[in-house]
Structure 1
C-alpha cells in the first residue's frame, strides 16, 4: 500500500493519511493536536510527495512521539471525513509495535492510552479502528 501524493487531484480529491494502531494492555495509543486539544486521533500524518504510506508513518512516529516502530503491519484502510479538516480522507492504518516510550512532540498536545470510553475520539478512529483492535 504505497501512497505517493498527500492529496489526489480532481473533483473527488481526498486527504491521504498514514496512521498507527498501537495497542498495549488492551488500550489504544491516541494523540491530540494543538489545533484541537480535546479531540484524539491515531498517531501519524500525511505522506510527503513520493513517500510511501509506511515511510510516512515511520517519519511521523519519530516526529510526533520520538519512537521507532519495531513492526508495522497493514491493518485497514478507512474512508471517512477528516475530523479536523472536514474533507474526504483515506486513512491507511497499520498495526505497530514501538521501540521506546512515546512522548508528545511537534504539534502533539497530549497522548493517552484509551479503551475508547474516556476520551473524545475522531469518528474514523471510534467507528472503524477501535472495533478492529480492542
Structure 2
C-alpha cells in the first residue's frame, strides 16, 4: 500500500479510447476513479496492476506492454486532502472490460467530466489533456 515513506500509493491503469479515459465507480461511492489499487506486500507495479485490473474488470493486462504515464501526488499539507501518490501506466489488455462485484459501474470520461473524479485523478486528466489524449 505504501512505499518506504508511508505515503499511501495506488497503481492505476490509464486506458484512453476515442479521447475518453476509462474510469470506474465502486459501490457506495459517488466519485469515479482510474482502475487499479494498492500493492500487496512484495508486489511490483506490474504485478499489482495485473492483479487489480483482473479483480476489478476481469480483463488481462499485458505486463510487457506497460508504459509509465506518470506519477501524480497530493503533497503533505494540502488543505483538503491527505497525502497520496498514484503511479499510472498505459497497457494493452486481452478480453472484455467486465466490472466485477466490487465495481458498480464503468464509464468513459472526457476532460470535461473531471469534477466527477478524485483530486489525484483530476491531475491525471489534466496531464492527458496536455498530452492531447483527452478532449
Aligned to 2:120: 124
Displacement of 1:117 after TM fit?
A: 2.5
Structure with the largest fraction of helix: 2
Residues of 2 paired with 1:72 and 1:41: CA distance? 19
Displacement of 1:97 after TM fit?
A: 2.5
Structure with the largest fraction of strand: 1
Residues of 2 paired with 1:47 and 1:7: CA distance? 8
Aligned to 2:78: none
Query: What is the TM-score of this pair, normalised by structure 1?
Result: 0.81
Gap regions ≥5 residues in structure 2 = 76-80, 129-133
Q: Segments of 4+ in structure 1 off by > 3 A? A: none
Aligned to 1:78: 72
Aligned to 1:3: none
Residues of 1 paired with 2:58 and 2:126: CA distance? 27
Aligned length: 121
1:46 aligns with 2:42: no
Displacement of 1:29 after TM fit?
A: 0.2
8 Å CA contact 1:13, 1:88 repeated in 2: no
Gap regions ≥5 residues in structure 1 = 1-5
| 1:30-71 CA distance string (max 9 Å, x none) | 0011141x2010000000000011210110000000011232
Displacement of 1:8 after TM fit?
A: 4.4
Quote the RMSD (CA, aligned, Å). Answer: 1.8
